[in-house]
A and B are shown apart, each in its own frame.
Chain A
Amino acid sequence: GAGVSQTPSNKVTEKGKYVELRCDPISGHTALYWYRQSLGQGPEFLIYFQGTGAADDSGLPNDRFFAVRPEGSVSTLKIQRTERGDSAVYLCASSPTRSADTQYFGPGTRLTVL
């Protein structure tokens, strides 16, 4: 079956612009996670959704970052007024249950802010 998909695979933008990154989780998975992975580092937690609601957004670095999951499936990570320091690979993962024992990761979106 289809895994977690993320679009676009690469995004290049200019400092100050707004970007949206999309995640399509595995069908039926109720839990969805966003991570940010900088070069040479492990994934860093951003936000976790259980269904449509953000159960934990403690990892969002500041109020320029926002994520939604309006119908409990697809999620969009939104970054306003992008900064060069936002450049990273943004990973999405989904899990069939709230316990999140097994997280299935997508291939990520590589964001480059010039």
Chain B
Amino acid sequence: QQQVKQSPQSLIVQKGGIPIINCAYENTAFDYFPWYQQFPGKGPALLIAIRPDVSEKKEGRFTISFNKSAKQFSLHIMDSQPGDSATYFCAAANTGNQFYFGTGTSLTVIP
């Protein structure tokens, strides 16, 4: 059973657009929700993370929106650039325990 469901599988946007990637989870014990960015041939790199005590977190051009009641969270990338083209993974964890990753979203930003 997939603990974290991620959509869409792939996304193409124009430069300057705002891609949005969505994730949903079931386990209410999860209390840490990170997003990772992965380039081909590289390991995932932490982009931004949120805990369920806040509904939104911004770091630079990246924003996480968190809806605890709906058990959903999403990543927004403002003013997207071609260099943002990568695969993005959401994850969920109960602090101190294993991470559960989504299946990934391949983002392409067209110049």
Contact = CB atoms under 8 A, between A and B. Distances in A.
B41 interface: yes
Interface residues of B, number: 25
Contacts of A59: 98
Interface residues of A, number: 25
Interface stretch (A11-19, A67-75, A93-101): A93-101
B8 interface: no
A25 interface: no
A43 B38 CA distance: 11
Interface SS, A side: loop
Contact of B101 (A40, A44, A102, A104): A44
A93 B43 contact: yes
Nearest to A42: B101
Interface string A101-114: 11111111000000
A101 B49 contact: yes
Interface in A41-82: 41-45, 48, 56, 58-59
Contacts of A103: 46, 99
Nearest to A89: B43
A44 B89 CA distance: 12
A37 to B, nearest CB: 9
4 closest A-B pairs by CB: A42-B101, A105-B43, A45-B98, A42-B89
